[in-house]
Amino acid sequence: MKQFLYPSHIGDLKTALAEAFEIKHDRYKYESLGHHKTALLIFFNNSLRTRLSTQKAALNLGMNVIVLDINQGAWKLETERGVVMNGDKSEHLLEAVPVMSNYCDIIGVRTFARFENRTDDYTEQILRQFIEHSGKPVFSMESATVHPLQAFADLITIEEHRAKNRRPRVVMTWAPHPKALPQAVPNSFAQWMLAADVDFVYTCPEGYELDPQFVGDLKPIYNQKEALKDADFVYAKNWSCPGVTRPQEYGKVLSTDMSWMVDKAHMDLTNNACFMHCLPVRRNMIVSDDVIESPRSLVIAEAANREISATVVLKRMIETL
Ligand code: AN0
Ligand code: CP
């Protein structure tokens, strides 16, 4: 596997899930595979889970790991070609990427949407430069439009908790948040769920419709309570305006309607659903204390499965070096 952004990059999801459970059962099964191979994990943005779980995954495979926080100790990087670099940025990505690639075999990049230019974000401008100029396999650790390691971990978690005798109904709901957040998590979750063996719908206020690149022709259900009916899994997430139906408002907060927060009354509408969120989560904005603390909450299990999804992805990448 040379790049990892979309479910298509990992191929058949049943096979990927089987590999995930094999690794979960014995996470050191491939501990010699990564001997003398180095993973470089580059962070342009903050992280707790991705940082730790991806390092752990690399260690499971016997790899060496280097972690770089671009904004803490490295030179500030210019990412636009053609600019006169007379500002605060000392180095261009076009030199930095080939330099960094000398020191590693596989590169992971975290680079959030910047909300300055929708086209730049939706063409994955930064991640693409790593893919084009590093000559190494590159995986997204949440980039401008996708968070595939999270979606894969969420799929593993759903597979572990679903009733085996029927397709689960998975409902992703928008929930309020004070700041503008990326669409990467909902884009990937929707894309992976639509590729998986589940029934998937999503619900959001008007203006928050996701890009057809990720949801095809699936339209949201605007009535949240209606959407939650019979849900087996409720996946909460805030995202900012994707700019599909309202291009001028791309990356903006359109609603702070607290009636969308997932609380017990919302969960009572479901089929005794499990609650999911990728974390970090703002309590009593996105979800009430009692729901996130309930025995039906899977948030810690999802985070634990990040080690497993990252181990599968790094393994696949080592195998094609
Ligand atoms: C990020 C987001 O919503 O994309 C990371 C989630 C994994 N969340 C925040 O910035 C709070
Ligand atoms: N869920 C997730 O990716 O968390 P971090 O931002 O802490 O890595």
Q: How far is CA 17 from CA 12, 28, 105, 144, 247, in A?
A: 9, 17, 25, 25, 37
Contact between 1 and 320 under an 8 Å Cβ cutoff? The reply is yes
CA distance 283 to 291: 10
**Secondary structure (H, E, C), 101-129:** HCCCCEEEEECCCCCCCHHHHHCCHHHHH
Q: Kindly give the distance from the C-alpha atom of residue 18 to the centroid of ligand 1, in angstroms, as a whole number.
A: 28
Within 10 angstroms of residue 17's Cβ, the number of other Cβ atoms is: 20
Split the chain (321 residues) into runs of 10 and give each run's mean pLDDT.
Answer: 98 98 98 98 98 98 98 93 96 98 98 98 98 98 99 99 97 98 99 98 98 98 98 99 98 98 98 98 98 98 99 98 97
Ligand 1 mean position to 156 CA, how many Å?
20
Q: What is the pLDDT of residue 268?
A: 98
**Contact 312/153 with Cβ under 8 angstroms?**
no
Q: Relative to the alpha carbon of 188, which ligand is closest? A: 1
The whole-number pLDDT of residue 292 equals 98
Measured in whole angstroms, how far is the alpha carbon of residue 220 from the centre of its chain? Answer: 20
pLDDT at 282: 98
State the pLDDT at residue 264.
Answer: 98
CA 261 to mean position of chain CA atoms: 21
Among the bound ligands, the one closest to the CA of 154 = 2
150 Cβ inside 6 Å of ligand 2 = yes
d(CA 209, CA 187): 10
Q: What is the pLDDT of residue 57?
A: 99
The confidence score (pLDDT) of residue 69 equals 97
Q: How many A from CA of 44 to the centre of ligand 2?
A: 13
Q: Is the CB of 40 under 6 A from ligand 1?
A: no
At residue 284, the pLDDT reads: 98
For residues 77 and 91, the answer to whether their CB atoms sit within 8 Å is yes
For residue 278, the ligand 2 atom closest to its alpha carbon is 1
Q: Tell me how far apart the alpha carbons of residues 191 and 212 are, in angstroms, rounded to a whole number.
A: 10
Give all strands of the β-sheet with 64-69 in edge-to-edge order: 3-4, 138-140, 106-110, 38-43, 64-69
* Amino acid, single-letter form, for residue 191: Q
